[in-house]
Structure 1
Amino acid sequence: MHTVGLPRTCLGCTNVLFFILGSAGLVICVWCAVNTDFFRDVNYNITRANIVYDIAYFVNLKIWFTPLKSIFIPIAVIVIMTSCCGIMSAGCQFKCAAKSYIFLVTLLSIAFGWFFFVSIIYNIYTNSPKINYIMVDSLKNNYGKEDDMFTHIWNFLMVNFECCGVHDFKDFSYTNWHKDNLEKFYPIQCCILSNKTAMTPMFINCTLTAQKIEPYIHTEGCLQAVRKAVIANKTKLIMYFVLLTIAFALIILFAYCILRGQPLLGSMAVNAPILPFRKIKIEGPKPHPQQSETSLENMIFADEAPKRIVKVVSASNPFQTFQYRPMDYGDRHIPQIAPYGMPVPPMHHHNLRHVK
């Protein structure tokens, strides 16, 4: 049987990884926000990798009027805060950090699930008018701008899903892109390509003609093409959703184990009396607490009751005292001490012990 060390190890390693990723993303976004050219030159001279240019270009893209780096910076900060809470709860077992970690992970998971699975996948699957309006508006107002994220999303959809426009190629007639390219009816991404990497169309003048277009361009709209792909892969999407839910549940259980200081199965069985594997702890009588041996007054004897000792002082001779234990014979044998100057009432002398 494992101990609470297993949840601590798994949670600690996971959050260290997310902390590294969040820190790297934050550094890249802040660096590009300050000076993109300096970021590009320094990192390319060190790594000699073309991905440096792609990263610098990507974080500077815009969604409407907001650069992606302005969106990624607060997201990276939240990821770093969440991972720090997870590391402190796993390493130092801080309960406040574990509670904060559970709250932040739940909040991020709900936000991601709602954005990806509900706002995008579910609306496409149900052919919602809302997703249709968003696609038409982004194609009309944002497509064609080099630094706009929607341009790259549309190009990716048209090339990989082999589609054109929202419903067909005629959607480009009302776009800002067509106003800047009056000689073209649609972009080259709508053409059937012989080489997708080099963007080489099968017919060179594909974008310049609108007649007899079936052999040269994709006639299906992207909304319908993406919807067919979602319907065809709905089993995989459901499996991904289930796996992400299980991963979220495990993370929350690990944090809950640290919060309670119990192993994984022990924490799961605390509030589940119907589980067959739960062990019921039967508590016996609690032993007497260990008392200090330095004082007789703090000692408790299990075999006999505490003794009460009464000291009796003779009224006629104040220097003569007696010790009396009434527990042996009951409280009725407790002697009555007379007021000062009066004789002591008679008592049973066999119950008195003379003290010198």
Structure 2
Amino acid sequence: MKQFLPIIFLIIFLGILSSANIYLARRFSFYFDLTSTRYLYVAFGSLTVFMIAGIISTTNAQGTFANWIYILASIVMGFLLYLLISVAIVDLISLFVKSVPRLLGISALSLAVLITAGGIINAQYRRISEVEIPIKGLKNELVAAHLSDIHIGHFWGPKTLQKIVDKTNAQNPDVVFITGDLFDGRIRLNSKSLEPLKQLKAPVYFVEGNHDGYSGAEEVKQNLREIGVTVLENEVTHFNQIQIIGLNHMRADDGDPGMHGTGKKPSMRSVLDQLNIFPEQPTVLLHHSPDGIEYANQHGVDLYLAGHTHNGQLFPFNFVVGMVYKYNKGLHAYKGTRIYTSQGVGTFGPPMRVGTKSEIVLLKLKPVES
């Protein structure tokens, strides 16, 4: 049955897209009193094909033309989502408030444009999320900045990274943790894009994410090492008072296919069993996705830092992601292990955030009072 899941998902996905296009075409035909719906079917169908083909074909493209195709296709994706929602809202309101059809159409279009524009602006406003976490064994308070899912690529480049670095430095952290998806394609995959990271005033530790893998994980890591970032690949290191475990992006367990299956590669369970971990020391685990917390807990991890989910990034997908990932955003606890899942600093796909936020997480690790 499992082998048919991708096909079933594809059929359902195409069915939803087709139904959405039919719905939009018929509603706008009604709104603007058009004699034929044929051209609207073609128009919405063409936008959908452009959206999907544009993103898939240009994700790792490096040319200027391909970059603009990706940008337009991504924005079209966000706009069509909110056009569909806006039309549904307007139709619902029209059941109770009678209005001229043309006004309904204009209202739906205006609402979709406003949400799209607002989402683009919101994605660029990066908030500081401060969290206090008690850690057993700490002698003094330690301040850590947690960055995740920056997604340098078609939208975000060195200027954006510079703003993130400046805002991070302003918090005066003792250490900086980056939990993957630093890149979002090969278009800006070079050492120049990472120059701002040199200005971070604290030591930096990095683990890969799935999008780093799509872009070229080894190249990403090499560039980071050249500028002094400590790259952790299924290993343990120490900083100040804490033990740091850094894992590559992987499944939680050997039998878990995961959303981004890693084939025959190791799992968190198997790798953690092989590492030389001292459970009695204050321990922070870095892993891209918030999976396998039970295995982290078995090895005495005090704090698990992850990202990956974006908290869905766009409403209503935050509710969908919340069903897929138990720890989809913010601070949670599992027995003696705390986990913080960042909503991310950047974006994937549409450069928008609706109902979510771009965040730099400031973790104040405090000794446990006796």
- TM-score normalised to the size of structure 1? 0.24
Q: Would you tell me which structure has more helix in proportion to its own residues? A: 1
Larger Rg: 1
